[in-house]
Amino acid sequence: MNGQFFRVFAVFLHVQRGSSTPISRQIAEQIAALCAAGSLKAGDRLPSVRQLAQELAVNQNTILRVYERLVADGLLDMRHGEGTFVAGNATRRRMEKQRRQFIDELGLVVRRGTMLGLPLDDLRQLFEEAIETASDAALVAAASTATGD
């Protein structure tokens, strides 16, 4: 697998350093979401621990913990000497669990926003902006891949 895929893969991952959510959890949840959405399919090879740590500017041990957690969850397979791959047995039930968890977390975000006094219209606008930003990042990554940048 070439380095271009790994750079594009890393574009889809975003680490918020000031977040109360640990970096390892942020990365694990994003990889799980990419699997749930079908962006990562069974058998797809992920970047090495070293490559992903370098691309995201995080400690290699952080990425190793993420991969190990996702192996324990049945989403990834780590093959000695070959790399880390999306598991072939990542069942629909696991993906549905991730979706339910996302919906629950989204509800928590909405409740937190209302507790902070944000009107629902402002929350809707913030969500729309976040969706647009994520869509723009995906388009940039796709364009970059198409042009070979």
Average pLDDT per run of 10 along the chain, which is 149 residues long? 54 86 93 84 92 94 96 90 86 70 92 94 93 72 54
Q: Tell me, what's the pLDDT at 139?
A: 59
Count of domains in the chain?
Answer: 1
Secondary structure (DSSP) of 67-101:
HHHHHHTTSEEEETTTEEEE-TT--HHHHHHHHHH
Sort strands 76-79 and 45-46 into parallel, antiparallel or unpaired.
Answer: unpaired
Alpha-carbon Rg for the chain in angstroms: 16
**Whole domain around residue 115: which residue ranges?**
3-147
Separation between Cα atoms, residue 97 and residue 117, nearest integer Å: 31
CATH number at residue 67: 1.10.10.10
Contacts of 68 by beta carbon, 8 Å cutoff, 6+ apart: 78
Contacts of 134 by beta carbon, 8 Å cutoff, 6+ apart: none
Q: Tell me, what's the pLDDT at 89?
A: 67
CA angle 83, 1, 55 (to 5 degrees): 75
Token output for 3: 């380095």
Q: Tell me, what's the pLDDT at 28?
A: 94
